[in-house]
Amino acid sequence: MRIKVFTAPHLHEALAKVRQDMGPEALILDRQQIKDAGGIGVWHVHAALDNNSIQVAPKVSKPATKQLNPVVHGKRDNNASTDATIQRLERLVVGLSNKESASLRSALASRRDQESFDHLVRLGVSASYAFDLADDFSDRKPIGTKTLQWSKRINPETGRHVILFSGPSGCGKTTLIAKLAAHYSLKGIRVAVLSTDTERMGGLDALKAYTSTLGIPFFPLKKASETEKIIRETQTAQLLLIDSEGWSPRRDTCLKRQAQLWDEMDCTRRIMVIPANMDEEDAMQQLSHHKASDMTDIAFSKLDETQKPGKIVNWSIASKLPMSYCSFGPEVPDQMGWLTAQTLTTLLGKHSRESAI
């Protein structure tokens, strides 16, 4: 039997090291949180692996093989066998996930912490992150102050800001920009709005209507040669908000085409907008695909259209992007805010109470 100690700042990171080094057959002997010489808490996980624990799968008899792979029109059909294999793998993954979740839950010190862990997991927070957040959440303290990254609040009064918003089609970029334009213009900030969504039919219409109502300058940007003129015409604006064409990992032509326009505008921030009602894995794919676009922040829209707002925690950590804005609802300029640890705690706490009613 091989025994090894794995150390990490968070328990889920130490457990991940166990799985990576020893695989799913590893046995967790002990887990302990201690403080290092600098007073910072770290986790030690003792794991063991029996060298004889790996079993050889029994051979499948020929009749069984023929049954799983019937011959259709003279050709062997492997679909049934493939589907069965995928189903077994899916069950295995779910089983391992449930086992890890139960292990993390049992490691929490109090029943209150365990109940908070359950709440967070029900709201879509990954079990490993829910473990890190449960203690503060049970005490209604601001959660994620160390686990998550938080953007520095935008203040156009201190200098000019050029902010690009990008994301998948229908993610709510245009509505969020309209809310921000209205919010800051009503505070006396000089705002201008620009859009690179010029190829899609009707892509400019919504922002044109919003800016016309607010009396805010609006500029379409179709090609790089136009940027110098637009920069000159918007140089007095304290806040320049840039909308962009929605895109998809399977259709990233527009992303490549617009990247040059974004570079020409010399953006101070590039905010990735993800709708909270999006499937978690689809959003992960979007975030992975968008890493090459130098995003600096992440914002979340449509928080009123999901029962699992905890997904935004997973997305923020996975993307390594600091949280910035959140938006919930179509009203302009209302239903928008800046995400902080306290705001996130309130949001998840509100959903927990509503789920219990």
The tens digit of pLDDT for each residue in 260-280 reads 778 788 899 999 999 999 999
Average pLDDT on 6-19 reads: 81
pLDDT exceeds cutoff 60 at 66:
no
Please answer whether residues 211 and 218 qualify as being in contact, where contact means their C-beta atoms are separated by less than 8 angstroms: yes
> Token pair 């020893």 is at which residue?
22
For residue 141, is pLDDT > 70? Answer: yes
Task: Note the pLDDT of residue 247.
Answer: 74
Domain ranges in the chain with CATH number 3.40.50.300: 156-339
| Confidence category of residue 61, pLDDT binned at 50, 70, 90 | very low
More confident residue, 189 or 67: 189
> According to the model, what pLDDT value does residue 333 have?
72
| H/E segment holding residue 241 | strand 239-243
Superfamily for the 1-54 domain: Flavin-binding protein dodecin (3.30.1660.10)
* pLDDT confidence of residue 98: 59
Q: Give yes or no for a contact between 327 and 312, defined as CB atoms under 8 angstroms apart.
A: no
Tell me the average pLDDT across 320-325: 94
Residues in Cβ contact with 34 at an 8 Å cutoff, skipping those fewer than 6 apart:
41, 42, 44
* Cα distance between residue 344 and residue 55, in whole Å: 46
- Do the beta carbons of residue 289 and residue 249 sit within 8 Å? yes
Fold of 156-339: Rossmann fold (3.40.50)
Residue extent(s) of CATH 3.30.1660.10 domains in the chain: 1-54
Best CA proximity match to 352, nearest among 308, 298, 304, 315: 308
Mean pLDDT estimate for the chain: 81
**308 contacts 355 by C-beta, under 8 angstroms:** no
Give the residue-averaged pLDDT of 13-34: 77
Least confident of 27-36, 223-232, 298-307: 27-36
pLDDT value for 290: 72
Q: Which residue has the tokens 């879509």?
A: 124
Task: Write down the pLDDT at residue 59.
Answer: 44
297 pLDDT more than 90: yes
**Which residues are bridge partners to 240 per DSSP?**
162, 192
Task: Report the range out of 22-36, 99-113, 149-163, 285-299 with the highest average pLDDT.
Answer: 149-163
Q: CB neighbours (10 Å) of residue 352? A: 18
Percent of the chain with pLDDT over 70: 79
Per-residue pLDDT of 212-253, as tens digits, reads 998 999 999 888 889 899 999 999 999 999 998 887 666 566
**Residue 195 confidence (pLDDT) above 50:** yes
The three-state secondary structure class of 152 is coil
Mean pLDDT along residues 36-50? 76
What is the pLDDT at residue 87? Answer: 54
Beta-bridge partners for 243: 195
Which amino acid is it at 99? K
Q: Measure CA 261 to chain center.
A: 25
Q: List CB contacts of 52: < 8 A, sequence separation 6 or more.
A: none
pLDDT greater than 60 at residue 331? yes
- Picking from 151, 118, 153, 152, the residue whose alpha carbon sits closest to that of residue 137 is 118
DSSP structure class, residue 248: B
Q: 311 pLDDT exceeds 80?
A: yes
Cα–Cα distance measured from residue 210 to residue 10, given in angstroms and rounded to the nearest whole number: 46
